[in-house]
């Protein structure tokens, strides 16, 4: 039994859908865990797993941390994406990017897995652009402003799960688990 | 001997100037420490001091965490003020606040002091407004966009240290120390 620890239901559903394709199942542990501040997502995920492992002991678990990194904004909102989403939201990002020519951005996801003895991390990235307006109603977080091949993640429905940063990180993790 | 732990020179200089008025001196420990993510500044400062105390043992120290909380932006940038300053800066906040009528904001500072045995926190707040433009060149961080009685903190020079959130938190701390 492996636990997936997250308090975010949208994230849980997405991981569940991807795991099914690999014939894998996980137990949802709906819980907030301690995260440190930092600029490096790998370091944050690893440290969070380290702190949580002291409580979980020999129980296996993984957690996932992700962020949207916008080139013209020096990587903002980056590791603080969920706080930024909860405060200024998609509207805030659209406003900050008004008149900005360089629209390049990427989503990054890091999985940190505790096997009862040590922590391993798996990273996935997807490159895209920030749209001029909010579009689509699927997914969660910054999905409605992240353009991938002409559509936002929130317009892509299930197709998002074929190309997303989370899918790419999970793919590496699941292939390693199944090896 | 009490250490003041910060990697921010502007913060150190400000604390030094205020401490002088109380006849107090501290040793500057220029170091970054682990901070957790969270919405509550008191909790973040306390937890940071707790983690650092494991290393400092019976050495006395204090640290200070502060943030700018803008009402119309649901408290953003709040606890992540330094990251937000480093990425989108004052220009980003001005842009986000363009056309927003409610300009109310406050600066909050929390001191966490480890006396070798336990942690105490001291809080200071100063209320003001977000200006329409960047003004003044004193201070640091968001000082040039924080209006207090018609001037920004960055236009107030030394006078800022009479009314600032940091001054108010330090005042409580120093009075408690001198008691």
Q: What is the token pair recorded at B171?
A: 């005042």
Residues A97/A70, Cβ–Cβ less than 8 Å = yes
Tokens of A22: 């690999």
Does the beta carbon of A88 lie under 8 angstroms from any beta carbon of chain B? yes
Nearest chain A residue to B87, by CA: A74
| pLDDT tier for residue A72 given thresholds of 50, 70 and 90 | very high
Asked if B74 and A88 come within 8 Å (Cβ–Cβ), the reply is yes
Q: Output the average pLDDT for chain B.
A: 95
Query: pLDDT tens across B110-133, in order?
Result: 999 999 999 999 999 999 999 999
Q: Does position B179 have pLDDT exceeding 90, yes or no?
A: no
CB nearest A95 (choices: B36, B74, B96): B96
Among B34, B83, B96, beta carbon nearest to A80: B83
Q: What is the pLDDT of residue A66?
A: 95
> What does the pLDDT look like over A105-149, one tens digit per residue?
999 999 999 999 999 999 999 999 999 999 999 988 999 999 999
Place A158 in a pLDDT band, splitting at 50, 70 and 90.
confident
* Structure ipTM: 0.88
CB contact (8 A) between residue A80 and residue B75: no
Q: What percent of chain B has pLDDT over 70?
A: 100
CA distance B170 to chain A (A): 24
**Number of domains present in the structure of chain A:** 1
- What average pLDDT does this structure show over A61-81? 97
**Contacts A37 to B, Cβ<8 Å:** 34-37, 80, 83
CB contact under 8 A, A83 and B83: no
B3: left (phi over 0), alpha (psi -120 to 50) or beta: beta
- Integer CA distances (angstroms), A167 to A8, A17, A110, A162, in order: 16, 10, 11, 7
Minimum-distance CB partner of B87 among A35, A74, A92: A74
Q: What is the pLDDT of residue A101?
A: 98
**How far does the CA of residue A164 sit from the closest CA of chain B (Å)?**
25
Lookup: tokens for B87: 């990425």
Residue A179 is predicted with a pLDDT of: 85
- What single string gives the DSSP state of each residue in B135-159? ---SSSTTGGGEEETTEEGGGSGGG
Give residue B29's domain range. 2-178
CATH number of A14's domain: 3.90.950.10
Instruction: Please state, rounded to an integer, the average pLDDT across all residues of chain A.
Output: 95
Task: Tell me the pLDDT tens digit for each residue of B47-58.
Answer: 999 999 999 999
Q: How many CB atoms lie within 10 A of CB A92?
A: 20
Q: Give the pLDDT confidence score for residue A35 in this predicted structure.
A: 92
For chain A, say whether B176 makes contact (Cβ under 8 Å). no
Token code pair at residue B139: 């201070």
Chain A CB within 8 Å of residue B73 CB: yes
B95: contact with A, CB 8 A cutoff: yes
Q: Are A83 and B35 in contact (CB < 8 Å)?
A: no
pLDDT in tens, B64-82: 999 999 999 999 999 999 9
- Per DSSP, the three-state class of A111 is strand
- What pLDDT score was predicted for residue B52? 95
Q: Give the pLDDT confidence of A35-50 residue by residue, as tens digits.
A: 999 989 999 999 999 9
Query: For residue B172, what pLDDT is reported?
Result: 96
Q: B75 at the A interface (CB within 8 A)?
A: yes
DSSP state of B126: E
In this prediction, residue B167 carries a pLDDT of 94
All residues of chain B having their beta carbon less than 8 Å from the beta carbon of residue A80 are 37, 80, 83-84
What was the pLDDT predicted at A157? 85
pLDDT tops 90 at residue B104: yes
Q: Rounded to two decimals, what is the model's pTM?
A: 0.91
Q: Which pLDDT tens digit goes with each residue over B7-40? A: 988 889 889 988 998 999 999 999 999 999 998 9
SS3 B21: helix
pLDDT tops 90 at residue B157: no
Number of A–B residue contacts, CB under 8 Å: 65
Phi first, then psi: give them for residue A119, nearest 5 degrees: -110, 135
Residue indicated by tokens 């997250």: A6
Q: How far is A87 from chain B (nearest CA, A)?
A: 5
Q: Which member of B65, B115, B132, B143 is catalytic?
A: B65
């Amino acid at each position: 039994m492996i636990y997936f620890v997250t308090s975010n239901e949208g994230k849980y559903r997405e991981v569940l859908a991807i795991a099914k394709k690999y014939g894998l199942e996980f137990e949802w542990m709906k819980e907030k865990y301690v995260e440190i501040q930092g600029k490096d997502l790998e370091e944050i995920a690893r440290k969070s797993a380290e702190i949580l492992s002291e409580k979980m002991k020999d129980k296996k678990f993984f957690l996932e941390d992700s962020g949207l990194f916008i080139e013209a904004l020096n990587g903002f909102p980056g590791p603080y994406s969920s706080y930024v989403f909860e405060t200024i939201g998609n509207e805030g990002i659209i406003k900050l990017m008004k008149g900005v020519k360089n629209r390049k951005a990427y989503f990054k996801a890091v999985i940190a897995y505790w096997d009862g003895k040590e922590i391993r991390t798996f990273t996935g990235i997807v490159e895209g652009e920030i749209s001029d307006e909010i579009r689509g109603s699927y997914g969660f977080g910054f999905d409605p402003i992240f353009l991938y091949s002409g559509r936002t993640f929130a317009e892509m429905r299930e197709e998002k799960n074929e190309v997303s940063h989370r899918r790419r990180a999970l793919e590496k993790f699941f292939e390693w688990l199944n090896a």
